[in-house]
Structure 1
Amino acid sequence: MTEAQITAAVDELVALVAKGKPMDAFEKFYHNDIEKTDLDGITHQGKVLIEKLGHEQLANIRQVRDFSALATVIKSNRSFIVWSIDLDTMQGPLNVVEVTIQDWQDGQIIRERYFA
């Protein structure tokens, strides 16, 4: 993929999340062999497992005040998204600015890491 193609894909991914459709973005843009490292440093592999965990996380949300992209950067086959997140979960509030680093392969995200 070119940087322009990744930019368009990231823009669409962000738009889907903004519409409350993060799992639609996941289905479209994530590779079957995705490797994802969460803020807690735990790494998970495989689209089926990560999709299951994503649905569990979404079911845990009680209220969303903000879940927006503040900025994006695309360089070569890597994208960076800065997210502003302010929501309540069953475990309590989550208020964080995080950076997602995504590596793209074959038009999809093959590796994703979160940092806050």
Structure 2
Amino acid sequence: MSTLLGKISDLNDLILQGKAMEAFERYYHEDVVMQENETKPTVGKTANRKREEEFFGAIIEFRGARPLKVTIGENSTMVEWHYDYTHREWGVRNYTQVSVQEWKNGQIVREKFYYGS
């Protein structure tokens, strides 16, 4: 996977196969910064790994996810996702989210998630 299209396509495919943590290990940089809307960013792969594991561990029922649109720019990708699941703390979630990734040397160094409440 040498192109951004190839990398983001593989990352999305891994997520759809239930291998989100494998995608995280493969495509996220050690110094990655991840942010939900305008909340305080989470810095570093270790802290973000913990955050991701807590999120996936709190999903009670997963009904589906699908990428709706993928956009490729210079060292950046954007994916519009539709998610449908039940979370232990948040209840039923059925929504659309845009994930914006900044890439450096083949890995994501920054990712920000945009969605309504």
Matched, 1:16 2:32: no
Gaps of 5+ in 2: none
Partner residue of 1:71 out of 69, 72, 76? 69
How far did 1:41 drift? Answer: 2.0
State the match for 1:43 in structure 2: 41
- Equivalenced residues, count: 113
Gaps of 5+ in 1: none
1:75-109 CA deviation, whole Å, 9 max, x = no partner?
11110000101100112111110000000001100
* 1:1-116 equivalence runs, <5 A: 5-39=3-37, 41-91=39-89, 92-116=91-115
Task: Specify whether residues 39 and 86 from structure 1 end up closer, same or farther in structure 2 by C-alpha distance, changes over 3 A only.
Answer: farther
Bigger relative contact order (CA 8 A; separation at least 6): 1
Identity over aligned pairs, percent: 28
Q: RMSD value over aligned CA atoms?
A: 1.1
Q: Return the alpha-carbon distance in structure 1 between the equivalents of residues 79 and 102 of structure 2.
A: 12
Task: Tell me which amino acid in the other structure corresponds to 2:12.
Answer: V
Task: Tell me which amino acid in the other structure corresponds to 2:111.
Answer: E
How far did 1:42 drift? Answer: 2.6
